Amino acid sequence: MKRRDFLTTAIAGAAAASLPAAAQPARKSFDFVQVDVFTQTPLGGNPLAAFPDAGGMSDAQMMNITRELNHSETTFILPATAGGDAKVRIFGSDGELPFSGHPTLGTAFVMALTRPGKTAMVLEEGVGPIPVTLERRTDGLFIEMTQTEPVFGPKADPKMVADALGFPADEIDSRYPVQSVSTGAVRLIVPLKSASTLAKLTLGHQLPPGQRAIFSGSNYFVVTGEAEIEARFLGFSSEDPATGSAGGCAAAYLVQYGIRKPEEHIAIHQGRFVNRPSIVYVRTGGATGKPTNVRVGGYVVEAMRGKFTV
């Protein structure tokens, strides 16, 4: 930049800064509550920031705030438009999502802070209405959502999946298929014989583009060969400490293939590899081979409160 141009720019900037307050662009503040979902201990579980009154906030502001906070998702609560208790918009770093698990429970917790008598709510999300129940237990607030009915997608070749995702194919539990499942979001369920395999999984792996288009690029590794259900949800460059959407898919899968019984309360342990221990509680109605009425729940705790001025 030439010296003359630099001076012109600097003078213009100084003049703008010296404008009276009335001439400055209007800014507005928005309160938020940050919670940890699928845990009873702050700084565990999966963090979420929820904005209880996002009225007047633009899409661009929601997106920018989400990126600023740098959580996997952030939610923005708006007045209901379809008979529910609120409309909830969920944003991730790459854009708006029609549904996500821990944001649904965390948002319900934040809404419950100003609705002390509520035991049930309906959140209007991109996939439609999501019913949520709230149970105030002696050890905390337990929240459970009902997800959309399970849809079982195509089955993948175990060796192709193992080779692409970087672990030996013989560690897949061959009694059950590697299969994509959706209860609001499509996840590829990869059944494993042992929890020891979970420790071998690393970031930086994904299915080839054509296979991702068929089976999903979201992989949920679930231990089906041991008494305790433990899982990991790994993306290409990050790991989710607790995944409610995938937990619902796993619940349907476990009942579909007779690994767990209908209406059995199942605890899915997740998050130990990122030092954020979590428990996703799931249950599914119906019958073996015909799962229905998938519910995913967990405890939620408040971590902090803040204010954004945009």
φ/ψ (deg, to 5) at 44:
-105, -170
pLDDT at 27: 85
Considering its fold, how many domains does the chain have in total?
2
Q: Please tell me whether residues 254 and 161 are part of one structural domain.
A: yes
At 146-192, the pLDDT tens digits run 999 999 999 999 999 999 999 999 999 999 999 999 999 999 999 99
Residue 106 belongs to a domain:
yes
SS3 270: strand
Share of the chain above pLDDT 90, in %: 88
SS3 104: helix
Q: Please tell me whether residues 125 and 165 are part of one structural domain.
A: no
Contact 121/106 with Cβ under 8 angstroms? no
Helix (H) or strand (E) holding 136: strand 128-137
At 106-151, the pLDDT tens digits run 999 999 999 988 999 999 999 999 999 999 999 999 999 999 999 9
Domain range holding 234? 151-293
Which structure tokens are listed for 281?
């509680």
| Of residues 25 and 7, more confidently modeled | 25
Q: Please tell me whether residues 155 and 282 are part of one structural domain.
A: yes
Q: Please tell me whether residues 92 and 178 are part of one structural domain.
A: no
pLDDT at 11: 46
Of 307, 295, 276, give the one whose Cα is nearest residue 36: 276
Q: How far apart are CA 194 and CA 256, in angstroms?
A: 20
Task: Output the pTM of the full model.
Answer: 0.89
Residue with tokens 């979970």: 198
Residue 22 belongs to a domain:
no
The CATH number linked to 64 is 3.10.310.10
pLDDT at 236: 85
Q: How far apart are CA 28 and CA 31, in angstroms?
A: 10
Q: Reply yes or no on whether the pLDDT at 231 is more than 90.
A: yes
Q: How far apart are CA 34 and CA 56, in angstroms?
A: 20
Q: Please tell me whether residues 189 and 98 are part of one structural domain.
A: no
